[in-house]
Amino acid sequence: MPSRQRQPADPPSFSSITDPLMTSTSSSAGQPSGTAPKTRKRLLALLGLTTLLAAAGYGAYYYGVARFHEHTDDAYVNGNLVQLTPQVSGTVVSVNADDTQIVRAGEPVVTLDPADTRIALASAEAALGQTVRQVSALYINNDVLAATVRQREADVARVRDDLRRRTAVSESGAVAVEDIAHARDAVKSADAALETARQQLASNHALTDGAAVADHPSVQAAAARVRDAYLANARNTLPAPVTGYVARRSVQVGQRVAPGNPLMAIVPLDGVWVDANFKEVQLKHIRIGQPVALHADLYGRTVTYHGKVAGFSAGTGSAFSALPAQNATGNWIKVVQRLPVRIALDPAELRAHPLQIGLSMQVDVETKARGDALDATRNATRSAAEPARTTYSTDVFRQYGAEADVEIARIIARNQGQGGEQSAARKRERGGEQTRTRTAS
């Protein structure tokens, strides 16, 4: 069979290839020509409306909220650095705390060698005891001298009677003239002895009247020396003035210290505050007592502190710097100044989230509650809205004086004995009898 050959297919024509493109072009050309500009106008109108709404929202937020707030991140935690300094000189024998450790008020932190002060205290106590005994003897001498006066009075009465008897019989010649002369001399001698005894009694009363043994000037002077020695000995132990954390410890065992040398600092973190440095253009509406919201970089935005504006610094930071700015020069450039504003924190929030000195803070002051002008808050006359004046005090050293008084009273009672007390009691009894006699008369 004759083979059948396959005929090649005809190539596609150019018109069949371009037909779909031509069809699409023709279909697009059939739509309205103004659709794209209308869409563009709607988008622009929507954008403008959105912009106007955002501007209106921000304006409402500014006039309702934002304009009543002043914010700064130039704020830092500040607090008291209570210096621990010795009041007497001595050698350090123990240090009972180190940096970062907490100490309680009254706890002994540093101890000095008490050997020398103990010797001085013992000497002063012995001198006080001796003085008390000497003054007690003065009170006892009042009774002794009073008895001497009575004895001299009896002697005077006896020699006068003797002289009177001799004079009565002198005319009969029974008594010699010489005996009468001797009797007159005896009377004069007895009168002189009586006057001497009375002067001695008066002199002793001048040393004892108007005061008991414990109140006698000599005893008080000796007691003052004991008190001074006792305080010097007690001050060898340095207690913590306040409760806080130890910082900047510089004292070492064996070191010789003098009064006033700083040994360490104690920082009470329960009483810290924030110094916020606001620009001078931000201070127009900030007033004492306005509420403040604060955030510490240590805790982030999760912890919010609440405080109040406590006061304004008396000058800007540059005014109190070591080298104040000198603006009277030809190349002067104005620099916006910052004024430190103190912000008091809530103690309960500080206990829950402690803050260390120097930490950075974010401060937001709500200035909606506006009062007088800024200068009025600094007036010397304190208003009712102004917070109470802050007072710092410690009573850990007060016990030294009370303990010294107890020791002095013990030494006086031990050395006074019964003589001074009995003499004072008899003097009170005599005074009462004289008062009753004057009243009866």
pLDDT in tens, 164-205: 877 777 666 666 777 778 778 888 888 898 888 888 888 878
pLDDT, mean over the chain:
81
Residue 227: count of CB within 10 angstroms of its CB: 19
Residue 425 banded pLDDT, cuts 50, 70, 90: low
Q: Is the dihedral of CA 349, 352, 353, 357 positive or negative?
A: positive
Q: What is the CATH number of domain 82-115+234-266?
A: 2.40.50.100
Structure tokens given for 257: 């210290």
404 vs 328, residue with greater confidence: 404
Residue 429 banded pLDDT, cuts 50, 70, 90: low
Q: Is the pLDDT of residue 238 over 80?
A: yes
Distance CA 77, CA 98 (A): 23
Q: Is the pLDDT of residue 264 over 90?
A: yes
Q: Phi/psi zone of residue 298: left (φ > 0), alpha (ψ -120 to 50 degrees), beta?
A: alpha
pLDDT for residue 145: 85
State mean pLDDT over 35-42.
83
Lowest mean pLDDT among 1-15, 64-78, 210-224: 1-15
389 vs 150, residue with greater confidence: 150
Residue 21 banded pLDDT, cuts 50, 70, 90: very low
Between the alpha carbon of residue 191 and those of residues 91, 167, 421, the distances in Å are: 67, 19, 33
The alpha helices in 367-418, defined as continuous H runs, are 374-377, 398-416
- Give tens-digit pLDDT for 268-324: 998 899 999 999 999 988 999 999 999 999 999 999 999 999 999 988 877 887 777
pTM of the model: 0.68
pLDDT for residue 291: 93
